[in-house]
Amino acid sequence: QVQLVESGGGLVQAGGSLRLSCAASGRTFSMRAMGWFRQAPGKEREFVAAISWSGGSTNYADSVKDRFTISRDNAKNTVYLQMNSLKPEDTAVYYCAARSVPNWGVRTYDYKYWGQGTQVTVSS
């Protein structure tokens, strides 16, 4: 069993930055790929970014490429999402997710464990 707890969300003006953190429980964190997803009101949950078990491979949605960076610290059982140049359309609840395998996926059903989410609101 893996528990994920996100933090770092909040209200920011367009063009600003936020860093989300996701702390994971358990001793298997370093063997799992991790991902970030988001869900805006009235929309489906969508892929944002993912990272492999070692951090050596990452993937991003086109909408956030070159603005967001995913990283992980296996010694701290934590994955991060650095979000720069934020836009109002980035407003959503952001979810951290863990896979049962080392390599990343981009679909919600690729991930077995989910956090409770953290709200990110970008004002124009």
Separation between Cα atoms, residue 30 and residue 46, nearest integer Å: 24
CA triplet 97, 71, 89: central angle to 5 degrees? 70
Q: What is the pLDDT of residues 15-54, one digit of tens each?
A: 999 999 999 998 899 899 999 999 999 999 999 999 999 9
96 within 8 A of 114, measured Cβ to Cβ:
yes
Computed over every residue of the chain, the mean pLDDT equals 96
Phi, psi of 86 (to 5 degrees): -65, 145
Q: What is the pLDDT of residues 62-81, one digit of tens each?
A: 999 999 999 999 999 999 99
Buried b (16+ CB within 10 A) or exposed e, 20-31: bbbbbeeeebee
